[in-house]
Amino acid sequence: MFNFINEVEDVRSRSLRYFFVVDDYFHDVIISSIQCEEGELILNLRAWEEPIPGLPRPRPGNYRVRFRGCAYVEIDGMADRTLDYGSGRIKNSVRLASIQAASRFRYYHLRMHTPPGYIDVIFRDVDLTTDGRRLDPPKRVGQVKMLKYFGDIESYGESRNREDLRRLAASGEIWDRFNSITYLAIVGDESTAEIAMRGLDDEDHEEPWVACVWALGWAKAHDALPALAIQLANTTYPAKRRLIFDAIERILAGADTWSSRARAKYARIDDNEA
């Protein structure tokens, strides 16, 4: 949950899309060891269970993931020697922007949720092997969608008028609040920050709370900084702290939250129903 949604849609690497982003190929696989070498991050994975028919999941065996051209690695929340791989999301972080600005090469920021923590890696390419053999993705791999999270947030938002979305974001059921505040933030609705600020008080409902924290960063809501700082001081859960840090960093940097493809796609959504 704390990994939230993808923030970049233009992901050219088929291996990155297939194995880490679109279908969470390695969900529930064990990370048995991590190696940091010069310019590389290597994850050694172990899959134990036969995959459910129809789901893109690894067969039992050993897998080795090599992130090449690493410019940044951060690992937090390693309570044990082994970690469960939860999910992967592509982030458009402040740190990625600073690295990308200084390089002519394309970098990606992948955040892997490893409850209770995470692994952040900013890198140029990734390759995989299984029991010594190269592992390639299918020829046809789905595209990354920002607004896909247990359903289609984009369709949810476009099927409702703006006033209904504001009402649902403020006082709807859990998933209505989650979907509405996320959609309002993406399309730049002027009420996003005010509604998200009120939602910070509801930590008992994780889904809308996460969406509100993220929305405040996306909206660059400077007035939210004191409240976010209090939230940060009151939590020790690594992945949750990283989510709050992201929002604070984005606000302080005044960072552009859009990739070029997402800007072109979502900027055309007008506010005629506002």
Is residue 146 included in any domain, yes or no?
no
Residues 20 and 63 in one domain: yes
Residues 91 and 44 in one domain: yes
Residues 69 and 181 in one domain: no
Is residue 179 included in any domain, yes or no?
yes
Q: What is the pLDDT of residue 271?
A: 45
Is residue 8 included in any domain, yes or no?
no
Give the count of domains, the chain.
2
**Window from 30-44, 155-169, 253-267 with minimum mean pLDDT:** 253-267
95 vs 265: which has the higher pLDDT: 95
Per residue in 104-120, pLDDT (tens digit) is: 999 999 999 998 899 99
C-alpha span between 48 and 58 (Å, rounded):
9
Q: What is the pLDDT of residue 257?
A: 58
> Using 50, 70 and 90 to split pLDDT, how confident is the model at 264?
low
User: In the structure encoding, which two tokens stand for residue 241, read together?
Assistant: 């702290």
Residues 115 and 167 in one domain: no
Residues 116 and 158 in one domain: no
Residues 98 and 193 in one domain: no
Residues 170 and 108 in one domain: no
Look up the pTM and report it: 0.88
**Window from 107-121, 134-148, 167-181, 213-227 with minimum mean pLDDT:** 134-148
Most confident of 22-31, 50-59, 225-234: 225-234
User: In the structure encoding, which two tokens stand for residue 125, read together?
Assistant: 């390419």
C-alpha span between 71 and 93 (Å, rounded):
13
- Residue 249: give the domain boundaries: 153-266
Per residue in 72-99, pLDDT (tens digit) is: 999 998 755 668 888 899 999 999 999 9
C-alpha span between 233 and 136 (Å, rounded):
43
**Window from 91-95, 146-150, 202-206 with minimum mean pLDDT:** 146-150
C-alpha span between 115 and 78 (Å, rounded):
9
Domain boundary among 135, 163, 180: 135
CB-based contacts of 253: which residues, under 8 Å, 6+ apart? Answer: 94, 97
C-alpha span between 243 and 113 (Å, rounded):
11
Residues 79 and 40 in one domain: yes
Q: What is the pLDDT of residue 274?
A: 44
Torsion of Cα atoms, 16 then 19 then 21 then 26, to 10°: -140
Is residue 87 included in any domain, yes or no?
yes
